[in-house]
Amino acid sequence: MEGIAPQHLRALQPAAWQWFLSPENGHFALALACAFACAQCLLPALGARLREPRLARLGGGLAWSQALCLVMAFLCLGTAAVQDDFSVRSVAENSARAKPLLYKVAGLWGNHEGSLLLWLLVLALCAALLATTARRAQLPLFLQARVLAILGGISAAFGLFCLLTSSPFGRLLPPPADGAGMNPMLQDPGLAFHPPLLYLGYVGLAVPFAFAVAGLMEKRVTPRWGGWMKPWVLASWGFLTCGITLGSWWSYYVLGWGGYWFWDPVENASLIPWLSSTALVHSTIAVEKRDVLKSWSLLLAIASFSFSLAGTFLVRSGILNSVHAFASDPARGVFLLLILGVISGGALALFAWRAPQFPAEPGFPLLTREGALVLNNILLCTLCAIVLVGTLYPPFVQLLFSRTLSVGKPFFDSTTIPVFLLLLLLLGIVCALGWRYTKPASVLRALRLPALLGCLAFPLALIWLAAFPPALCAALAVWVLGATALALLRRWQVNRRAGRAHRSLPASQWAMALAHMGVAVSVLGMCGMSAARHDIVELPVGGSVSFAGRCWKLAAVSPVQGPNYRAERAMLQVSRPTCPTNAGKPFLRLTPERRFFPLQDQTLAQVALHITPLGDLYAVLGPSRLLATRHGKQLVWVLRLHDNPLAVWIWAGGLFMALGAVVALLGRSRRPAVAARGEG
């Protein structure tokens, strides 16, 4: 020990807070949270069963205790990650000293163990929030107890899964000097926030699920039940929309292939619950407003959460063959399948038993908003089934017939587009429909102008896109935009003429208009992208090429040193006239990079992107090579250039949809009395 001064030894001793936030304490907090979850599953349920209010009231406290424990566990894991504690296995496998701080934090959920902890934390926070807002929402005590008990059960199952198969706090001995680092592709702000947003959506769907199961247990589903569930449905749908939008945006500008949706099984795993929860949003509205579509809502709530669980299972068990890298482990798969069987299988069995006992609902004419909601549900569920079949077909064919095959874009394009066209048609019609009864003549009158707009848009789109299905899509999108905007205008005029005190439209109107226009905007973006052009060119420094009506000149290629990579950065000057004249001044400089990450021995393209409302210019730098020419050898660079019309509309539309959910939520919270009306 000679040679080590006492002050050095003191430096080795952790500070009090470091001890407090040690991985062992995190592990303990996780176990404690699991115990609280078990109690939250049992005690309030028992209270509701025995009609014992004191027991039933325990749910809220237990939910908060569980949430606090998980916050603690998450802080412990965060401390280990930020302090580069490579004796923690999950940190050593996914982090490195040279990683920027943002990605040390984002790396927490960039792997199986950490993302599971985040999953648990979000679920516990949802339960705690539910318990806190229950009084204001006038949620009956025993219903609240049942909902919390179901959420506790889900928490307990996943807590056990985390503790038994994938603890994020496992130690590694001896600790490595540096971590293995993170997949450089994931080191991007977009992807840092993509998983938490998706999880907020996935996990938020647990609350409608719990409401559905509790409703089945109580054999009572009322419009107020729909009102209690609706904010949770809206919020999780909004988060899911944001998460998917961000993920698609990330794949567009990080992966460098210039597309936005690949129909990859992992992408589909998030699309399936999105489609079913979109249907759920609509049928919940029908339950709240008109006391219809109750069985549908129950089934959709169960299905949406089951799909999000199934997605978790499929992605982590290794069953799906995807380009997305996930550590897969059959043992984890077995555990997850058991959880899925108990939670979803149990809920579906309860549905099969109880749903037929609900009294039959009154019928309604098709030409009403209720009728449109039924059609919408059918179409969305059809889409959902198509995506599900396309995703599960390859593994099932392999299981049954031992043949490998892939189902890709051609299948999904040819099957989903017709259904989607019908959905767009319906989106326009629904604007002219009212609840209960609508005069056919008034529908026709209201839809004349949008139909005219759509008919005018079709030939224009056909000329521009030179392809039939996208042009039809674009025309229908214009029809939806026109119908929605006109319906808003008409409502406003009616309000003004009546001289009502509340001249402004209700938030639900704005929300619906925003969400539906968002769909149309996204569709227009996709139509534009169907006309995207790209070209691969080889240019020496100083060379130029004409592409998409512009002249692209490779001005320079220079080396760059990043925090954990080396890069070659190209300077592309883009000018308006085509190349032979080459007189125009460059209006744009693009700097695509080719980054090399030595730790992972991986080369990645950093896309250069110029975004305008009318279209994106997009450039990817490839490798260089020596080309033999008449004047000797010449170094040329491979470049891929894209011209993507209306690309940004795809994601703008996604944001509009999510904004619709936000407006609907805010509009509700300002008028809490609305939820309380008209039901005994």
Partner 1 sequence: MRGPLGRRHLLALLPVLAFLLLGSGFWRMLHGLHNGQFDPHAVMTPQLGKDVPSFPALAGIPLSGTPTVQGAGTGIDTGIDAAALQGQTGPVLVNFMASWCIPCVAEMSQLKAISQVLPVWGIAYKDRVPRVAAFVRRNGQPYARLATDPDGRAAVEWGVTGVPESFLVMPGGQILWHGTSALDEATFRREILPLLMQARKEGRW
From 333, 371, 540, 667, residue interacting with partner 1 (rule: CB under 8 A): 333
Rounded to the nearest 5°, which phi and psi values hold at 157? -60, -45
- Interface region with partner 1, contact rule CB under 8 A, candidates 118-126, 294-302, 508-516, 558-566: 294-302
Stretch 611-650: interaction string toward partner 1, x if CB under 8 A = ---------x-xx-x-x----------x-x----------
Pairwise CA distance, residues 595 & 545, whole Å: 24
Q: Does 545 bind partner 1 (CB under 8 A)?
A: no
CB-based contacts of 318: which residues, under 8 Å, 6+ apart? 326, 328, 329, 330, 333
Q: Looking up tokens 């006309």, which residue turns up?
A: 531
Q: Does 161 bind partner 1 (CB under 8 A)?
A: no
Q: What Å distances lie between residue 376 and 203, 302, 484, CA to CA?
A: 24, 18, 16
CB of 342 or CB of 489, closer to partner 1: 342
Pairwise CA distance, residues 380 & 363, whole Å: 21
Burial of 35 (0-12, 13-18, 19+ CB in 10 A): middle
Considering only residues 410 through 439, tell me which ones interact with partner 1, judged by CB under 8 A.
Answer: 410
Q: Does 406 bind partner 1 (CB under 8 A)?
A: yes
Spatial contact of 581 and 548, defined as CB atoms under 8 Å apart: no
Cα four-point dihedral sign 428, 431, 435, 441 = negative
Two tokens at 22? Answer: 């040690």
Least distance from partner 1 to the Cβ atom of residue 536, Å: 6
Pairwise CA distance, residues 453 & 635, whole Å: 53
CB-based contacts of 307: which residues, under 8 Å, 6+ apart? 272, 273, 276, 384, 388
Pairwise CA distance, residues 481 & 260, whole Å: 23
CB of 22 or CB of 322, closer to partner 1: 322
Q: Does 348 bind partner 1 (CB under 8 A)?
A: yes
> Using omega within 30 degrees of 0 as the cis cutoff, is the peptide bond preceding 613 cis?
no
CB of 245 or CB of 544, closer to partner 1: 544
- Interface region with partner 1, contact rule CB under 8 A, candidates 30-38, 53-61, 175-183, 352-360: 352-360
CB of 105 or CB of 348, closer to partner 1: 348
From 534, 566, 569, 610, residue interacting with partner 1 (rule: CB under 8 A): 534
CB of 344 or CB of 376, closer to partner 1: 344
Pairwise CA distance, residues 540 & 634, whole Å: 7
From 109, 232, 313, 651, residue interacting with partner 1 (rule: CB under 8 A): 313
From 42, 46, 141, 340, residue interacting with partner 1 (rule: CB under 8 A): 340
Q: Does 181 bind partner 1 (CB under 8 A)?
A: no
Q: Does 11 bind partner 1 (CB under 8 A)?
A: no
From 14, 189, 365, 408, residue interacting with partner 1 (rule: CB under 8 A): 408
Q: Does 590 bind partner 1 (CB under 8 A)?
A: no
Q: Does 303 bind partner 1 (CB under 8 A)?
A: yes
Nearest to 333 by CA among 316, 346, 321, 320: 316
Count the neighbouring beta carbons within 10 Å of the beta carbon of residue 17. Answer: 9
CB of 353 or CB of 587, closer to partner 1: 353
Q: Does 341 bind partner 1 (CB under 8 A)?
A: yes
Q: Does 536 bind partner 1 (CB under 8 A)?
A: yes
- Interface region with partner 1, contact rule CB under 8 A, candidates 76-84, 121-129, 298-306, 664-672: 298-306
From 144, 277, 344, 606, residue interacting with partner 1 (rule: CB under 8 A): 344
CA geometry: angle 14, 17, 23, nearest 5 deg: 75
Number of residues that bind partner 1 (CB under 8 A): 48
From 18, 133, 138, 404, residue interacting with partner 1 (rule: CB under 8 A): 404
- Residue 108 CA from chain centroid, whole number: 18
Pairwise CA distance, residues 206 & 37, whole Å: 15
Spatial contact of 543 and 671, defined as CB atoms under 8 Å apart: no
CB-based contacts of 441: which residues, under 8 Å, 6+ apart? none
Binding region for partner 1 (CB under 8 A): 295, 299, 302-303, 306, 310, 313, 317-321, 330, 333-334, 337, 340-341, 344-345, 348-349, 351-353, 355-356, 392, 394-396, 398-399, 404-406, 408, 410, 534, 536, 538, 620, 622-623, 625, 627, 638, 640
